[in-house]
Chains A and B, each alone.
Chain A
Amino acid sequence: MKLGTLFKDALHALFSRAATEPYPNPQPNETERLRGRLMWAPEGCTGCNLCVKDCPANAIDLFVLDKKAKQFVMRYDVGRCTFCGQCMQSCRFECWHAANDDWSLAGTTVDGFTYYYGEEDDVERVLAEPVEEHPVKV
């Protein structure tokens, strides 16, 4: 029977830097594969809609302005996204990637969670149209 088996650890802890850190941590350790905010680049997109279909959280929507001219706008709701990475997997044209430096995504209001990706004029055209609600799959 022994007492104080953690004595050495405690002594070491007392004289070294604490393992916990105040938030926000001054130097976030970003890992290369960290899945932060999802980014979409319109180049290469064929409008196949696979990513939208596979997204388990219904976080993304594709607006097809002109399929032939490849004018697409992607609406992405970071508040719904679960960062599962399925969209990156589903897209065969590598339109999606996760930003590993943009991970502090919480907010104090409900605004600012929706992003529109695409060419600037296309996005403007989409925004000008009356907002259609996201179709909830049943």
Chain B
Amino acid sequence: MTELLQVLVTMLFFPAGLFLLANAMFYQWIDRKLVARLQDRVGPPWYQPLADTVKLLANEEVLPFGVNKWLFIGLPIIGLAGALTTALYLPIAGLPPAYGFPGDLIVTVYMLSMLTLCLGLAGANTRDRFSMVGATRTLTQLFSYEAPFLLALLGPALAAGSWQLSDIMAYASGNWLLLTQPIGFVVVIIGLMGKLEITPFDAPEAETEIVAGALTEYSGRGLALFRLGQWVELVIGLTMIAAFYLGGIHNPLDYVIKTLFPLLIIAGLQTLMTRLRIDQTVGMWWRYGALLALVQWLLIFLMGGGQ
């Protein structure tokens, strides 16, 4: 009985579930506020993401003509669930992960991609032209940043000699991998921006070209879930970066400080860059991103980090 209760709490409140959602909204607000301040604007009040979500949930969900109803409704749920699941293997808020098994790193990374896949499918599911173009771009972008992103995340794993998140984190908490693997750090940060479709990688949802990309036909609940999923990914990504590259996470305060640091970098980069065309994004990732990640690997091997 207590075990069931424990599972329920893990799923619904902490670290997945409500806590993560609240956390995601908070980080989303910080990102928006930072960008606003960098752009010399006041920015939204702290409850804005919550207000947005509540408003969207209250809105009518329009089922567009000619879509597969089950996919249309199911995809946002699957995407969000995928993003939430990853939290089980990560030290959210500085507490030890709820679960873990050898190879959970790979599961986590693919769970994160699930949202993007769902996004792409959701776009392709509708008959809207903007959604179709957006979906194509989303998936194209997925295939361009995914490999370098994964390679860069595997860097710490190689150094730690394990593909289990808790092992890597234990290894990383002694070593600031930011110092030994700076290239990997850069690739991961930029990869995360690609994953979250943040400027300069926001071609898939470039509003001035294709309205809202794959999400054009979504309204109300579906849109809210997709958005929440993306914000959750932001938190997950930041947690991974902090745990892997910034000397591990030891307590809640440590967690906040170390996740806000990469968020500041992301907000800064976001402010200073222009949206890239999708062909430029792909070119950049394969020309530089993949190469950089490989160079990092080579360095790890040369330094004898790989076992």
Contacts and interface: CB of A to CB of B under 8 A. Distances in A.
**Direct touching of A and B (C-beta under 8 Å):** yes
Interface of A: 3-7, 9-10, 13-14, 16, 18-22
B41 A19 contact: yes
Contacts of A20: 40-42
Given A3-B272, A4-B272, A10 B38 contact: yes
B267 to A, nearest CB: 10
The 7 A-B pairs at the shortest CB distance, nearest first, are namely A13-B40, A4-B272, A10-B38, A19-B40, A18-B42, A20-B41, A20-B42
B272 A18 contact: no
A18 B37 contact: yes
Contacts of B273: 3-4
B116 to A, nearest CB: 26
Given A10-B271, A13-B39, A18-B36, 17 more contacts: A3-B273, A4-B272, A4-B273, A6-B272, A9-B40, A10-B38, A10-B39, A10-B268, A10-B272, A13-B37, A13-B38, A16-B40, A18-B41, A19-B40, A19-B41, A20-B40, A22-B42
A129 to B, nearest CB: 50
Contacts of B271: 6, 10
Interface string B36-67: 11111111000000000000000000000000
A18 B37 CA distance: 7
Contacts of A16: 40
Contacts of B42: 18, 20-22
B247 to A, nearest CB: 26
Nearest to B40: A13
Interface string B17-45: 00000000000000000001111111100
Contacts of A6: 271-272
Contacts of A14: 37-38
6 contacts: A10-B268, A13-B38, A14-B37, A18-B40, A20-B40, A20-B42
A5 B274 CA distance: 11
B40 to A, nearest CB: 4
Interface of B: 36-43, 268, 271-273
Contacts of A3: 272-273
Contacts of B38: 10, 13-14
A7 B272 contact: yes
| Of listed A7, A10, A16, A19, residue having the most chain B CB within 10 A | A10
B199 to A, nearest CB: 13
B202 to A, nearest CB: 17
Among the interface residues B40, B268, B271, which one has the most CB atoms of the partner chain A within 10 A? B40
A22 B41 CA distance: 10
A64 B37 CA distance: 57
Nearest to B268: A10
A19 to B, nearest CB: 4
Contacts of A18: 36-37, 40-43
Contacts of B39: 10, 13
A66 to B, nearest CB: 56
A69 B42 CA distance: 57
Nearest to B39: A13
A49 B43 CA distance: 50
Contacts of A5: 272
A30 to B, nearest CB: 22
B281 to A, nearest CB: 16
A20 to B, nearest CB: 5
Contacts of B272: 3-7, 10
B265 to A, nearest CB: 12
B130 to A, nearest CB: 29
Contacts of B41: 18-20
Contacts of A22: 42
Contacts of A4: 272-273
Nearest to A22: B42
Contacts of B40: 9, 13, 16, 18-20
